[in-house]
Structure 1
Amino acid sequence: MSEGPVITKRRFIAGAVCPACSEPDKLMMWSENDVPHRECVACGYADTLNEQGLSVPRELGTRVNTSALKVADAKVQAVQFFPNPKLKKKPDEQQ
């Protein structure tokens, strides 16, 4: 016997509409170890379904389960803007 996951053949579901992009007939379904999965071939949306056929929500991103902040790029420089004195309004032009 093999110890790997049991994966069924991927199939398209006729009339199914993608919950993300609303494209009809683009959802592909398959099962891994009796857990149904679906994926949209148009937009790449993918999720897992529970026993009732409802989408299992993904875990929300928090400071604990997300990666650390990226290190700032050394090539980035701060820019300071100075007012242009030629664009300054004269006192008699103000209303």
Structure 2
Amino acid sequence: MAVQKRFIAGAVCPRCGEMDRIRAWEQHGVRYRDCVSCDFFEQAAIEDDTAAELETRVNREREEQQRNAIQTVRILDPGSR
């Protein structure tokens, strides 16, 4: 039976930096990821949740929003003690 390899939308390859080139699949209790543009290859046991999250457009935008978040400043009246 052939293994179904699926592309991860928005994923950025940690080696070459190309977006939408990472494929992922599972076989025999192991997760695999590779890049179709370069020689990046990664495997991890399915029980292992310590695998780093791949950078995507979604989590990159979330970090930028947190960095650029507007914080309100409350001005205190010095005479209202």
TM range (shorter): 0.5 to 0.7
Question: In the TM superposition, what whole-angstrom CA distance separates every residue of 1:53-94 from its partner, at most 9, and x where no partner exists?
Answer: 516xxxxxxxxxxxxxxxxxxxxxxxxxxxxxxxxxxxxxxx
Partners of 2:21 and 2:51 lie apart in 1 by 18
Q: Give the number of the structure whose residues are more often helix, by fraction.
A: 2
**TM-score scaled by length of structure 1:** 0.46
- Relative distance call for 1:37 and 1:53 in structure 2 (3 A) is farther
TM-score with structure 2 length normalisation?
0.53
Q: Which residue in 1 is equivalent to 2:51?
A: 54
Q: CA separation in 1, counterparts of 2:50 and 2:36?
A: 20
Residue 43, structure 1, aligned to residue 48, structure 2: no
Count of residue pairs the alignment pairs up: 50
Unaligned runs of 5+ in 1: 1-5, 56-95
Identity of aligned residues (%): 36
> Secondary structure at the residue paired with 1:49?
strand
Instruction: Say what the alpha-carbon RMSD is for the aligned residues.
Output: 2.1
Say which structure is richer in strand.
Answer: 2
**Structure whose alpha-carbon radius of gyration is higher:** 1
